[in-house]
Amino acid sequence: MSTTLHYFKWAFLVTGMGLAGSFWLGWLYGGTLGSALSFLLIGAVLAVLEISLSFDNAIVNANKLKTMHPLWRRRFLTWGILIAVFGMRIVFPLAVVAIAAHVGPIDALILAAREPQEYARLMSESHLSIAAFGGAFLMMVALSFFIDEGKDIDWIARVECRMRSIGTVKGVAYGLVLLFVMLFGLGLGVHDQATFYRAAIMGLVVYMGVDTLSHLLDAETEVLSAARAGGAGGLPLSRGA
């Protein structure tokens, strides 16, 4: 139990602060114990949902982290938490509202705090852009897994073996995503089509940037590992000479 508290004390502390904040926010808006408890319940449900959906990410990250240098491991955890928690959960929704409402980020933050109904309306109106961007990005993530020739675990072996057979074709994943984007866009109105296509293409561009950065970092790690191995291997030779 002490080990669990040692590793997760900050997680428990931040979770407790978030639940206390939701209780206070409910009291601030409703002025009654019932409204405060209602906000607390919603906050607790969202916390459980977020934790349960993050388990798969934690497993993947743990497998990646165990092969990293301690310095890069700390950077991965620090920057990853900042980007995932504050970037995608806080900054990204505020950026969507700021773009949709043509206001600054500070005004979007004030809008979220003081006029939640208007904030929710703007987020709802931006659903098409968010769905197109996220759909294109996540489809690329899925295809990069299913057509990976190096993977040895299949969910549906017959289907995934055929998908891997086309993985050798350069750019096939981007072509498939663009095909689906075009087909879905045909069912939209002219104005919505422009919004949908623009957001979907941005999703592809962002994925390409993330994938390129990932390859660069992996290449740098391999070079450093090879240099360390070469240095360790050459040391006894120099002594023997």
Predicted local confidence at residue 37, as pLDDT: 92
Q: Give the CA dihedral 27, 33, 38, 39, nearest 10 degrees.
A: 20
Whole-angstrom Cα distance, residue 139 to residue 143? 6
Predicted local confidence at residue 2, as pLDDT: 54
80 — phi, psi (to 5°)? -65, -40
List pLDDT tens digits, range 35-90: 899 999 999 998 888 888 777 777 777 777 777 778 888 888 788 777 777 777 77
Residue type, 30: G
Whole-angstrom Cα distance, residue 225 to residue 241? 25
Place of tokens 């003081």: 114
Please give, one letter per residue, the 3-state secondary structure of the chain. CHHHHHHHHHHHHHHHHHHHHHHHHHHHHHCCHHHHHHHHHHHHHHHHHHHHHHHHHHHHHHHHHCCCCHHHHHHHHHHHHHHHHHHHHHHHHHHHHHHHHCCCHHHHHHHHHHCHHHHHHHHHHCHHHHHHHHHHHHHHHHHHHHCCCCCCCCCCHHHHHHHHHCCCCCCHHHHHHHHHHHHHHCCCCHHHHHHHHHHHHHHHHHHHHHHHHHHHHHHHHHHHHHHHHHHHHHHHHHHHC
- Please measure the distance between the N-terminal and C-terminal CA atoms of the chain and give it in whole angstroms: 54
Model's pTM, two decimal places? 0.64
pLDDT tens per residue across all 241 residues of the chain? 456 677 778 888 888 998 998 999 889 888 888 889 999 999 999 888 888 877 777 777 777 777 777 888 888 878 877 777 777 777 877 777 777 677 777 888 787 777 878 878 877 888 888 888 888 988 888 888 777 776 667 777 777 777 777 766 777 888 889 999 999 988 888 888 888 998 899 889 988 888 887 777 666 555 555 554 444 444 444 444 4
For the record, the structure tokens of 108 come out as 């979007």
Residue type, 112: A
